[in-house]
Amino acid sequence: MSESVPGIAPEVFAPVEAPVSPPQTSEEVEFVQLLTPEGERREHPEYSFDLDDEAIKGFYRDMTLVRRIDTEATALQRQGELGIWASLLGQEAAQIGSGRALNSKDMVFPTYREHGVAWCQGVDPLKLLGLFRGVDQGSWDPRDNNFHLYTIVIGAQTLHATGYAMGQQRDHAIGDAEQGEATIAYFGDGASSQGDVNEAFIYASVFNAPIVFFCQNNQWAISEPIDRQTRIPLFQRAAGFGFPGVRVDGNDVLATYAVTQQAMKRAREGSGPTLVEAYTYRMGAHTTSDDPTKYRLSEDLEHWKLKDPIERVRAYLTRTAEVGTDFFDEVDAEADTIAARLREGCLSLPDPSLTDFFDHVYVEQTAQLAEQQEQFAAYAASFEGEAH
């Protein structure tokens, strides 16, 4: 193998003492789990889920609806209505569990895949489509729902979140686990390699900022597997930065809720950052532009289907909470209604006008740009009435 790498001396490939333990496979590492894939409740010494079955039904509903929103968006992309879509398929529990653990004053900084968290924060799903359809770059007002714009540059938002949390700290908005405020930053396993994420860890740590870093380790960064990003389980990195890290079963909505809630409480009361690694799996493609059959095994997908985050809740509700089929049918019907509304809304999203976008470059428009805007408007107007 070494000969095939030009310019690299074969001895580089000679066995060396590994500086760290070899990459650990998923199953070897303990994580917090409160609901098994079979739908059975589990106890954990440090984390407990203390809501009732009604709440669990709520989680089931949330997860089902966002999965439906997601499949509808994927379909819209396939029909040419969206340029691209980043699916959350498989990550519903990580997002709903963590999203539902937030208080109304907490602030969220997402990547581009957090449709489930957006749902929890009350962002109209239709607004998520704008970026992917190409009519805007995020049309919701982040202040209305405490849900920042999607961020495409990998990891950049973790610093924004940290700065925001430093602001909460300076506003004396912390100090109470319930009444205080905190920030949560979402990012992927690939992002964990970015400088910004590591800088965010350092800033958060040295300033003791009220923040939770929520890494959805879906094990893939486009085609690169997790072992291209790290030699150790990601949650263990936190220790090196001086704050706690915890790995949670990212397909277990009860556990992601319990773990996030505790981490957010810690942040709100002023005890500083936590890294939560939600261990999950990206069941679909990275985005609709991507072909996962080129780089991963279909057996893996089959294996993870058995751990589906929604199925296990359904199993629990059916068997243990004795919830009847009526409930599931109602949720399905609601999902269909939402999907239909999403589709209709998407098709009627108005095409933006470039002329208007000149207005948003600066708060105080420059003379040069105003002139370009005017010239462009006049030029565009000269085509009016012409057939295209």
Partner 1 sequence: MTKISLGKGINAGLRAAMENDPKVVVMGEDIGKLGGVFRVTEGLQKDFGEDRVIDTPLAESGIIGTAVGLALRGYRPVCEIQFDGFVFPAYDQIINQVAKMHYRSMGKLRMPVVIRIPFGGGIGAVEHHSESPETLFAHVAGLKVVACGDPVDAYWMIQQAIASDDPVVFFEPKRRYHEKAELDESVPPALPLHKAKVVREGTDATLFCYGPMVKTCLQAAEASLEDGRNLEVVDLRTISPLDLPTIFDSVKKTRRAVVVHEAPYSLGPGSEIAARVTEECFYHLEAPVLRVAGFDTPYPPSRMEEEYLPDLDRVLDGVDRVMEF
Ligand X SMILES: Cc1ncc(C[n+]2csc(CCOP(=O)(O)OP(=O)(O)O)c2C)c(N)n1
> Which residues are marked as active site?
282, 286, 295
Displacement of CA 318 from its chain's centroid (Å): 28
DSSP codes joined into one string, 289-304: T--GGGTS-HHHHHHH
Q: Of residues 70, 92, 114, 189, which one binds ligand X by CB under 6 A? A: 189
- 19 membership: H or E segment, kind and range: none
The C-alpha R_g of the chain, in whole angstroms, comes to 23
Minimum gap (Å) between residue 149 Cβ and partner 1: 6
Q: Do the bridges between strand 245-249 and strand 183-188 make them parallel or antiparallel, or are there none, so unpaired?
A: unpaired
Rounded Cα distance between 49 and 212, Å, is 19
| 175 dihedral zone (left: phi>0; alpha: psi -120 to 50; beta) | left
Minimum gap (Å) between residue 279 Cβ and ligand X: 13
Query: Choosing among ligand X, partner 1, none, which partner's interface includes residue 380 (Cβ < 5 to 8 Å by kind)?
Result: none
Query: Choosing among partner 1, ligand X, none, which partner's interface includes residue 221 (Cβ < 5 to 8 Å by kind)?
Result: ligand X
Rounded Cα distance between 207 and 324, Å, is 50
- The mark string for 74-113 relative to ligand X (x by CB under 6 A, - otherwise) is ---------------------------------------x
Rounded Cα distance between 238 and 334, Å, is 40
Question: Is residue 120 at the binding interface for ligand X, with CB under 6 A as the rule?
Answer: no
Minimum gap (Å) between residue 220 Cβ and ligand X: 6
Q: Of residues 191, 204, 248, 285, which one binds ligand X by CB under 6 A? A: 191
Minimum gap (Å) between residue 352 Cβ and ligand X: 23
Question: Is residue 153 at the binding interface for ligand X, with CB under 6 A as the rule?
Answer: yes
Q: Is the CB of residue 63 less than 8 Å from the CB of residue 250?
A: no
Give the binding site for partner 1 (CB under 8 A): 109, 136-139, 141-143, 148-149, 153, 156, 158-168, 170-171, 183, 195-196, 199-200, 202-203, 206, 357, 359-364, 366-369
- 247 membership: H or E segment, kind and range: strand 245-249
Q: Which residues here bind ligand X, judged by CB under 6 A? A: 113, 152-154, 188-191, 218, 220-222, 282, 286
